[in-house]
Amino acid sequence: MKTVTFTAPVNIAVVKYWGKRDDKLILPLNSSLSATLDQDVMCAKTTVACSKEFKESSLWLNGKREDINSTRIQNVIKTIKKLALEKNPSNEIISWNVEIRSCNNFPTAAGLASSAAGFACLVSALANLYEIEGDLSEIARQGSGSACRSVLGGWVAWDKGTNSKDSIARQIADENHWPDMRVLIIVVNAGHKSTTSTGGMARSVETSRLLELRAKEIVPDMMRKMEKAILQKNFDEFAELTMRDSNQLHAICLDTYPPISYMNDTSRFIQYVVHSINDFHQTNKVAYTFDAGPNACLYLLEENAQLVTSLLCKSFQIGAEVFRGNEIPKLNENIDSLLM
């Protein structure tokens, strides 16, 4: 028996991937950009084992048995085994059955990039098991699009490319580039979303005209601006671009027919509080971004972490009830007193 255990981090996109031009190879309609988070807080952990004794192959996710014959899992396993055979045709372990056990230490299928961490982790573990070297981004992408960005650290672009070989991740800046950048994750609902990312984006591709416009006209310009803001460490610009891009994703979800609502009232309350904080300070102190789920990811600098977290906590205490009644509290005027 041979066993390998790996961990892999999530990545949170600031220019979102939404829509495929090729469902099988997972080629995106648009390029995207994300930061890969440190894996000491949120990660997938996967153990892969293979043995001559295993009667069948199996997959376990968070302790529950899942279908190992799903297309994406099989695509990943087959691609890696093919490379392993090319490298060493006499490696007998390639023909043995595999057992895959994976756990996420954060909510799965809740819009916090579990598919990204999960498939990046699976691909790394299998590559290590069969002793494959080289770029794993292309293989991870065929498990889940966003996973191709989690194989690299720091700030990572996924160029839409022209084919399977060049539609891969590229590091634009490493993990030490912006050392005071922080990400605050607010879990609004840890449950599984009712529309998966795969299903949601497929429906958007079929029905949303706005998505066509976004992919063709808006994202290329957005990618240039975002890359520049990150390289220049211009937080004010980075924050505005990030929030606009997130809002555009959710606008497209509403333009999808039938529409999809990933954000809920609590997500919108967080969005509102973030704008109140930024308006009051007349500069962006914090940026929200929401993936396909209600949970908030906030980008902020270390120097503002204390300010932002206390304002958010206080806002929740005083505001959430009022907001639910649709009477939006005037946080702009009160924001200073919130800190007292």
Contact positions vs ligand ADP (CB under 6 A): 44, 61, 102, 104, 108-116, 118, 122, 144, 196-197, 291-293
* Nearer to ligand DP6 among residue 20 and residue 275 (C-beta): 20
Beta bridge partner(s), residue 34: 13, 156
Which residue's structure tokens are 């191709």? 148
Q: Which does 74 bind (CB under 5 to 8 A by kind): ligand ADP, ligand DP6, Co ion, none?
A: none
How far apart are CB 17 and ligand DP6 at their closest, in Å? Answer: 3
Q: Which residues bind ligand DP6 (CB under 6 A)?
A: 13, 16-18, 26, 32, 115, 144-146, 197-198, 291-292
| Cis amide prior to 179 (ω within 30 degrees) | no
Q: Which is nearer to ligand DP6, 30 or 315 (CB)?
A: 30
Residue 32 near which of ligand ADP, Co ion, ligand DP6, none (CB within 5-8 Å, type-dependent): ligand DP6
Contact indicator for 111, 293 with CB cutoff of 8 Å: yes
End-to-end CA distance of the chain: 61
DSSP letter for each residue of 282-332: TS--EEEEE-SSS-EEEEEEGGGHHHHHHHHHHHHHHHHHHHHTT----HH
Nearest approach in angstroms of CB 259 to ligand DP6 is: 16
Instruction: Please list, residue by residue across 24-45, b when 16 or more beta carbons sit within 10 angstroms of its beta carbon and e when fewer do.
Output: eebbbbbbbbbbbbebeebbbb
Which 161-200 positions form the footprint of Co ion (CB under 5 A)? 197
Please report whether residue 115 would count as binding Co ion according to CB under 5 A.
Answer: yes
Shortest distance (Å) from residue 160 CB to ligand ADP: 19
Residue 104 binding result from Co ion, ligand DP6, ligand ADP, none, given CB thresholds of 5 to 8 Å by partner type? ligand ADP
Contacts 24+ apart (CB under 8 A), 86-89: 87/131, 87/132, 88/131
Which residue's Cβ lies closest to ligand ADP?
118
Whichever of 19 and 293 has its CB closer to ligand ADP, that residue is 293
Q: Which is nearer to ligand DP6, 28 or 319 (CB)?
A: 28
Nearer to Co ion, 147 or 312 (CB): 147
Catalog residues that contact Co ion under the rule CB under 5 A.
Answer: 115, 197
